[in-house]
Structure 1
């Protein structure tokens, strides 16, 4: 494992067919008011020129680092490969189609330290694929436990900051919702996640996004309860009802 710098944030970004949008994502990181970071972009064998685009940005700033996947493995494996190269005491996640507002890292770091938080998340707004239209702020609860998260959709991946000192070795399992599963595993021992209810990220809504397929998403959430968390049918039904209701309220408007 690489030497850990306690103050550095390692930004984990999986990238696949992202040539047209990864530049805007990188620019949002370069614009951060908190400067002690490294951005590890795991390029997952895209059929387009995503890897070449990342290499050009890598030349402009040594904090941007291309991690080349040997074969296409999906988001979880790409994130794990980037995590294996991370040198920061803090881990942030930023998907290749999302962008941060300038104070995202600074505000989240300060909030995490003030609360002694192992996992911190923030509010955000959706934006259209072309970046022109921005939706209303998606608010988040101040805290979430493991059991509360089972029935909640509040944690958006590109808002997450993890204290590596508290959590230790961080890896994602290869499952449909690898991010949701990861947050559950962090909280399962009894940790509490803290939410900063400020608008600090833009979530790009893409028509081909797998998370927009509600029926398929619901099926995989149910499987996560039953197969990964080993919950009974009754408990799974209870949490699924809460999850579905909160998801409906969350997505009822742009």
Structure 2
């Protein structure tokens, strides 16, 4: 008898009529057999629901849940978690493609790490690359896919702009689209915060870190992420959500002045991504005057790679 654990593949959908069929194909193509697929449509206003119904016809291991009102990405994820029968949950995005070995690779990584370290309080991400319309492919490495794995405080310091332990590998952070985690971890840490429209994944990661969680990753490139622009990806939405995240976790900032620094850095990001060059320069000067050491460390670590990346996106 096959004792392999059941994995729930959770696939959210919102106005994704052009990409949803491909995303479903990626879920169905997973070589890991003991799986169920839950698709949640978050009250789409386009033809997404019809696309989903056509794509899942004849597949008994797929459940399709339709929200009557829009709850945001976090709300759709919560519906998946609450309806999942699987011991593990893997999140797939509606405009991404997961390669066939993703589930098996992540499961193997989790089980081997749990056996070696004696803990189930962890989450696992996979590497991949982001595909842009101009043909540019930006590879991303999963957090914890190289030594050393972030644990607890390591992640908190990184995500809240309090510096990074140079011995720890943070990769591309904690995006939900490449995540696999035990359902029991959600039961311990809690569901996604529906008030977070862009930072629900980081909020979950911070709560996992507060519980002493381990952040592991697979080096294999198993997710192809489409670079898309939507309402929730506008700079002003990100700005408000990042500020709300910092405020929610204000108790984690040490020293407390780090909270003010984070607010100013988030404002710099807002001006930069909004292509407000003069305001960006003025905000950066303000940061250097108020927090010279912290600003230099953050700027030197992030700016060169960011500029190279944006240059390739614009080609």
Fold agreement, TM-score > 0.5? yes
The answer as to whether partners of 1:225 and 1:231 remain within 8 angstroms in 2 is: no
Shift of 1:6: 7.3
- Specify every segment of 5 or more residues in structure 1 that has no aligned partner in the other structure, as ranges: none
1:198 matched to 2:220? The reply is yes
| Counterpart selection for 1:234 from 245, 257, 266 | 257
Q: Distance in 2 between matches of 1:251 and 1:104?
A: 31
| Counterpart selection for 2:24 from 26, 41, 47 | 26
Q: Distance in 2 between matches of 1:67 and 1:247?
A: 42
TM-score (norm 2): 0.69
Higher Rg: 2
Q: Distance in 1 between matches of 2:10 and 2:111?
A: 20
Shift of 1:40: 1.1
Q: What is the aligned partner in structure 2 of residue 39 from structure 1? A: 37
- Specify every segment of 5 or more residues in structure 2 that has no aligned partner in the other structure, as ranges: 115-119, 160-171, 266-294
Q: Which has the higher strand share?
A: 1
Could you say if the C-alpha distance between residues 222 and 252 of structure 1 is closer, same or farther in structure 2, counting changes exceeding 3 Å? farther
Could you say if the C-alpha distance between residues 155 and 209 of structure 1 is closer, same or farther in structure 2, counting changes exceeding 3 Å? farther
Q: Distance in 2 between matches of 1:248 and 1:12?
A: 36
Q: Which has the higher helix share?
A: 2
Q: What is the aligned partner in structure 2 of residue 157 from structure 1? A: 176
Aligned residue runs from structure 1 range 149-188, under 5 A: 149-150=155-156, 151-152=158-159, 153-168=172-187, 170-174=190-194, 175-176=196-197, 177-188=199-210
Alignment root-mean-square deviation, CA: 2.8
TM-score (norm 1): 0.85
Could you say if the C-alpha distance between residues 199 and 33 of structure 1 is closer, same or farther in structure 2, counting changes exceeding 3 Å? same
Greater CA drift, 227-236 or 178-187: 227-236
Work out the number of aligned pairs and report it. Answer: 247
